[in-house]
Amino acid sequence: MAVCAAVESAQGYPILGRSGQDDLALDDGWPIFGRRGGQTGVATYPNCPLCDQSTETMRHLLTGCSFSRMVWFEVMSWIRSTSGPPTVEGDFAEWWSLVVRTVPRQLRKGTSSIIMLTAWWIWKHRNAVVFDNARPSVTTLFSDIVAEARQWADAGARGVRLLLP
Ligand SMILES: [Zn+2]
């Protein structure tokens, strides 16, 4: 977990971390997020800080949120995936593995990484809105995701490099 975010695998699930901050891990097929090594678990805000339209649950944030769905749409188009965004309020992990299975073998690792990176950045963006009074912005978030993906590719993430336009 040095300068660049690292992707590892523990207990068969991907883990993403950066210097112990804003960690994302999949446990039993469901993402668990933590901030600065503090509590993990689903978010506790009554209204989703990104769309302000719905109760905030992790499922909403990742698959149901109108804001997040715009971001997924941008990202999936960017990597020229034939899959659309996750089903509204559907199971995120199920969608993730389905998307990965539909791409050619050599692109699977990169596709999986990009999906994980996007989920992680949605969470980071949500934290910036909640804790730093940032304004939700699909454009900003998408360009953050693109920049981070390029950094990963430059740092030697071959799967990601194969996938990037
Ligand atoms: Zn929302």
131 in any annotated domain: yes
30 in any annotated domain: no
Alpha carbon of 162 to ligand 1 centroid (Å): 32
Domain carrying residue 154? 42-163
pLDDT digits (tens, 9 = 90+) for 53-82: 888 888 899 999 999 999 999 999 999 999
| Residue 95 host element (H or E) | helix 92-102
Alpha carbon of 140 to ligand 1 centroid (Å): 16
34 in any annotated domain: no
Question: What is the rounded CA–CA span in Å between residue 36 and residue 48?
Answer: 21
Is 45 buried (19+), middle (13-18) or exposed (0-12) by CB count in 10 A?
A: middle
15 in any annotated domain: no
Alpha carbon of 130 to ligand 1 centroid (Å): 13
Alpha carbon of 77 to ligand 1 centroid (Å): 21
Domain count, the chain: 1
- The position carrying tokens 């804790």 is 131
Question: What is the rounded CA–CA span in Å between residue 127 and residue 132?
Answer: 7
pLDDT digits (tens, 9 = 90+) for 112-131: 999 999 999 999 999 999 89
2 in any annotated domain: no
pTM of the model: 0.75
92 in any annotated domain: yes
